[in-house]
Amino acid sequence: MIHIRTTNPRDYLRVTEIWLESSIIAHDFIAEQYWKQNQKLMEEHYLPLSEVYVAEENGAILAFIAVINHHVAALFVHPDHQGKGIGNLLLQHVKSQKDVLELNVYQKNTKSLGFYLAKGFEIVSESLDSPTGEKEWVMQWKNQALQQSEAEYSPI
> Is the entire prediction scored with pTM above 0.95?
no
* Res. 153: pLDDT tops 90: no
Q: What does the pLDDT read at residue 144?
A: 78
* Res. 150: pLDDT tops 70: no
Instruction: Say how far apart CA 138 and CA 129 lie, in whole Å.
Output: 11
CATH topology of domain 3-153: Aminopeptidase (3.40.630)
Residue 138 near residue 124, CB atoms below 8 Å: yes
Domain ranges of the chain: 3-153
- Tens digits of per-residue pLDDT, 80-136? 999 999 999 999 999 999 999 999 999 999 999 999 999 999 999 999 999 999 999
Residue 4 near residue 90, CB atoms below 8 Å: yes
Q: What is 62-125 written as a DSSP string?
A: EEEEEEETTEEEEEEE-GGGTTSSHHHHHHHHHHTT-SEEEEEEETT-HHHHHHHHHTT-EEEE
Q: What does the pLDDT read at residue 80?
A: 95
Q: What average pLDDT is seen over the chain?
A: 93
- Tens digits of per-residue pLDDT, 6-40? 999 999 999 999 999 999 999 999 999 999 999 99
* Res. 55: pLDDT tops 60: yes
* Res. 146: pLDDT tops 90: no
DSSP letter assigned to residue 11: G
